[in-house]
Chains A and B, each alone.
Chain A
């Protein structure tokens, strides 16, 4: 077991005894303690709901006494640009509440660092937001207008908070006790600022619109939108040539209409297709990419050991660990589905390293071997590989792992691999030969 670490953040009471904070404040926590302002006594709390994609979490303190003399903050709306805001929290720990003031300097879409891949509306302020502020409220006129969550260390006085529409979406989403996630349209678009491009597409003058260049397979847009469509309107919002739409008096990316809705909701669209405007409706779905594309939290890593070879399903956490950002892994993780959508696999199985034993002699330095097939049968996932190995006939002589990235296969003797299995686990102090949550491949 690695040494445990402790971290601190902020949070605020919203209603019915719930505390709102950031997902990254409570992720991977084994024990959660909440302190009231100026009180030395910690209270045990539990995570009621967590949304890693939008970096939000809802907590509940076990002891009802905690809530005595506390008043929930009301949620406000989206602030105006240049309006004054206050950020509250406990930057760098500390026992006393810190309060900083600033103005709203930008409202835009940006990447949420916690999931790593998701992009949502965020509000930029010059009010100081430092580590420890995370989860604290940003207020205006006595109402919470956001949750402080990240800053840009390369810039001075740039902090960000999660706006209320995304918070409200989260609170509605978890009402059934399950967090479904922020829906996504599933298209890649390019601006049509270039007048020649607009003329090429035959677009009427001053019609606005953004070019749909690619439909993500299995996404909300599949079967509704087409590559080459020009998306001109989403619900009642007109989309300009840069893909921006007017939202609460601000120009923000048109995706805003999708991200404030729930999975299963409908979305009305207008497109310019084959020289005509067409009205379409799509049903919103969750992003089609697997969880392996996001940073993973609160999950025990899955693995499989066979003959001392350690396999995992390629994921964002692994590829971003030192030395693993290699072109073949990057291709399998990111580029394959974009460039060759029909070659989509459930998971990419890789051999991360080898636990040296006589059965795998000669392969002990091997790592990051992408497993394409096992005894010439394609491998679709870690669970699939596990099943294939388990179903392998006893009379099998060789276990052949092939990779499309290497000319030579990795070969083990099947009988020796089985014979040495327990010995290898014991030698390296490993209790289980595999941990795979979903056994159905």
Chain B
């Protein structure tokens, strides 16, 4: 008998402890699915990117599926409130990845099985967001724009619990539940951009463009999902994207223009002039673009961005997310063009720097970042295929191109970080300007391959050679190449390559060049001998 009571006592105690240590897993009731039949549609895209190895051709056709959320653009571009999203014209919002390089976008409503053809209206590849439109009024009949609400970030588990759609088949729509783990600022490698994302666990079926629901309200959109969970764009960024999409001059997301590190400790803080009583971060590199790149210097000790004080970890006390990386300020608290004060300690003196919040951009990169929707630029002369070095080109070495692409080509990426190759030209800003054509950015021009022809016998093993000069003219872009070929010397065109290339010089006879170009065009069925 005593033993029986003892067992009961242990069981009650265990239950009590279990309740104490287990968070209350209260999940809200699943939302009503029916309104979603009028607020979301299925998307299927057929994508075909360019083959950067053979830049006049396109690669394989691939298909992807995802979802488009029905949205309208804000009436007032200044307001970000979801209440202003009441314009009559409707669009579908989804991820840029789903529609990048799409040759056909099909949108299918739950109640109409016939797909409608959609077209891209806006794309922010850096932020992975896109807006598409459909001109057939039948498609929009009875569809209603979503209302987007800010994410609740309180710490209790109820508000962290979310739902997303689970499309088992075109007819069978359901919900699945998940949990917001945290708000993070993540690096999107494809676009080299820092974007805020909600890290969500528990979702297994969600795909591009699926909604994230919290308390039955849309608070985000899934960007992608994998084994480690899903990543979603939070409401604030979605609303900002819609606002930017409505303006005449579409701009990409705002972005910082510097790299930083934790301040050093100990007695060497005085070398950098870092005061003990002020927390902040040490600017380690100034990027060629982004907020602050025009006023900051490496070695500045950044203590505040506007009214926001920085910790040694680069965090600020965010109004919604508590301690969060300062990048969130540029992403959800500041808009492009806003004035911002940067408080720094420079050479031991406090200085207030005034700058404008700027958008993410390609300007300043010696090796341009991945671009979608643009055909590759190239010139063919005498079988020499001239291309500019880009991330798209480097990507031909596959998913692991950062370790597999030729070392010498990867070395140019160092200049994207503004750290120049040491030497007499070691000037961060000047080196990215094209001295010959100041309107154009300086690029690295390569002979990526030699298309075999009688004119180039003996040169055909040349590949990925960096072009220094053509006819004694320095080459910094494909425009320079086309101009240099107008000025042969002594009836020959001479091309000089960077020492260390397979060979350092080649020549093409002017009198035979046109004939050779025509022959190559016909033999290899090349539609155009140049694309600029």
Contacts and interface: CB of A to CB of B under 8 A. Distances in A.
A361 B265 contact: yes
Interface stretch (A36-44, A113-121, A336-344): A336-344
Interface in A344-369: 358-359, 361-363
Contacts of A397: 271
A404 interface: yes
B419 interface: yes
Nearest to B409: A327
B356 to A, nearest CB: 23
A362 B298 contact: no
Interface string B255-266: 000000111111
B413 A196 contact: no
Contact of A405 (B282, B419, B498): B419
A374 interface: no
Contact of A197 (B272, B407, B490, B506): B506
Interface string B169-181: 0000000000000
Contacts of A425: none
Interface string A401-426: 00011111001110010000000000
A372 interface: yes
B284 interface: yes
A194 B423 contact: no
Interface in B475-508: 490, 492, 494, 498-500, 503-508
A199 interface: yes
B457 interface: yes
Closest 5 CB pairs of A and B: A193-B458, A407-B298, A194-B458, A404-B422, A190-B503
A335 B84 CA distance: 58
A196 B512 contact: yes
Nearest to A328: B414
Contacts, number: 115
A325 interface: yes
A330 interface: yes
A273 interface: no
A408 B271 CA distance: 12
Contact of A398 (B268, B457, B458): B268
Contacts of B271: 397-398, 400, 411
B267 interface: yes
Interface in B366-411: 407-408, 410-411
A408 B419 contact: no
Interface in B265-291: 265-268, 271-272, 282, 284-286
Contacts of A343: 422-423
A192 interface: yes
20 contacts: A190-B504, A193-B458, A194-B459, A200-B492, A213-B499, A213-B503, A241-B458, A327-B410, A335-B408, A335-B411, A339-B498, A339-B500, A340-B423, A361-B264, A362-B268, A372-B422, A405-B419, A405-B422, A407-B285, A407-B418
B458 A327 contact: no
Nearest to B466: A339
B33 interface: no
Contacts of A412: 268
Contact of B407 (A194, A213, A330, A407): A330
Nearest to B456: A194
B268 A411 contact: yes
A143 interface: no
B156 interface: no
Interface string B224-236: 0000000000000
A306 to B, nearest CB: 14
Interface in A379-406: 397-398, 400, 404-406
Contacts of A330: 407-408, 411
A197 B507 contact: yes
B282 A214 contact: no
Nearest to B267: A413
Contacts of B492: 196, 200
A331 B262 contact: no
A200 B407 contact: no
Q: Is the interface of A mostly helix, strand, loop or mixed?
A: mixed
A192 B285 CA distance: 46
Nearest to B297: A407
A194 B282 CA distance: 56
Given A194-B456, A398-B271, A412-B268, 16 more contacts: A195-B457, A196-B507, A325-B407, A330-B407, A335-B500, A338-B499, A338-B500, A339-B498, A361-B264, A398-B268, A404-B422, A405-B419, A406-B284, A407-B285, A407-B298, A411-B268
A398 B492 CA distance: 58
Contacts of B282: 408
B268 A193 contact: no
Given A195-B457, A406-B419, A408-B261, A361 B411 contact: no
B499 A214 contact: yes
Contacts of B458: 191-194, 197, 241
Given A200-B492, A330-B411, A339-B498, A411 B509 contact: no
B455 interface: yes
Nearest to B490: A200
Given A406-B419, A407-B299, A413-B268, A188 B504 contact: yes
Contacts of B505: 190, 211, 213
B121 interface: no
A331 B419 contact: no
Given A405-B419, A407-B285, A196 B508 contact: yes
Given A197-B458, A199-B509, A213-B505, A327 B413 contact: yes
Contacts of B284: 406-408
B509 A405 contact: no
A164 B377 CA distance: 53
B421 interface: yes
Which of A199, A408, A411 is the most central at the interface, judged by chain B CB atoms within 10 Å of its CB? Answer: A408
Contact of B457 (A194, A199, A213, A405): A194
B272 A411 contact: yes
B426 interface: yes
A48 to B, nearest CB: 38
Nearest to A415: B267
Interface string B450-468: 0000011111000000000
A362 B264 contact: yes
B327 to A, nearest CB: 20
Contacts of B500: 334-335, 338-339
Which of A327, A328, A335 is the most central at the interface, judged by chain B CB atoms within 10 Å of its CB? Answer: A327
A199 B407 CA distance: 35
Contact of A416 (B266, B419, B423, B509): B266
Contacts of A406: 284-285, 419
Nearest to A193: B458
B34 to A, nearest CB: 54
B268 A407 contact: no
A422 to B, nearest CB: 19
A195 B414 CA distance: 39
Given A200-B494, A408-B298, A193 B457 contact: yes
Contacts of A416: 266-267
Nearest to A190: B503
A197 B282 CA distance: 55
B455 A196 contact: yes
Nearest to B428: A407
B334 to A, nearest CB: 25
A160 to B, nearest CB: 23
A338 B468 CA distance: 14
Interface in A296-354: 325, 327-328, 330-331, 334-335, 338-340, 343
Contacts of A359: 266
A361 B499 contact: no
Contacts of A340: 423
B383 to A, nearest CB: 11
A413 B263 CA distance: 15
